[in-house]
Amino acid sequence: MVQIIKKQSGAAFKLQKGQKLKVIDPQGEQVSDMVLFNAEDPREKISSGKTLDFEESILITKEDWLWSNRSNKMMKILEDTNGRNDFLLAPCSPETFRIMYNNPEYHPSCFENLYTNLAPFGIEPDDVPTAFNIFMNVQFDEQGRLSVDPPMSKAGDYVLFEAEMDLIVALTACSAEDSNNGTFKPIHYEIME
């Protein structure tokens, strides 16, 4: 059954080893931040550094693994119809909007939507690592300068993951204007056996 994450919100749930998770961009140009924790011991969690190291790439896509801080495989990417994801940038947070957007007002953020949904699992804000940013289009030049460009995902694009261990998964529909070409849209997901 397809679950809906409304715009600028999030969800967290358990995923058993061997189950598959399909994350869908139903309207196109919408980023979803994903973090993973070992359901048996949440001190083990998804690691950007380990994943970029072991996969020998900064662009993580189909047939790559997502690795933990303890160098274990957490998920395999079985399919990726869009093919562009980011694993460099931290989840957008209240400070992102204050520091980068000069906005002193309250602004929803992936960080808030991750830690509030993870709280029932005993996971605290400081435990939230760099997220795997599904559909996020971060470009970089030869000098290493980064730019956050509109996602290239079109309506119906999806990434299909398979769990390699029992997991706690948190997902968002990202709240940052620049990451989503200026509009906020839902994210859909489906757990499959």
Residues at the interface with Zn ion (CB under 5 A):
92, 110, 174, 176
Give residues with Cβ within 8 angstroms of 156, minimum separation 6.
Answer: 24, 25, 26, 28, 81
| CB environment 113-134: b (16+ within 10 A), e (fewer) | bbbebbeeeebeeebbbbbbbb
Residue 24 or 110: the one with the smaller Cβ distance to Zn ion is: 110
CB of 173 to Zn ion, least distance (A): 9
End-to-end CA gap in the chain: 11
Buried (b) or exposed (e) across 3-19, using 16+ Cβ within 10 A? eebebbbbbbeebeeeb
**Whose Cβ is closer to Zn ion: residue 110's or residue 128's?**
110
Of 37 and 111, which has the nearer Cβ to Zn ion?
111
Cβ nearer to Zn ion, comparing 79 with 177: 177
Of 38 and 180, which CB lies nearer to Zn ion in the complex structure?
A: 180
**Minimal distance, residue 129 CB to Zn ion, in Å:** 14
Phi, psi angle pair for 117, to nearest 5°: -75, -25
Strands of 20-25's sheet, edge to edge? 2-5, 187-192, 20-25, 157-163, 73-80, 65-67
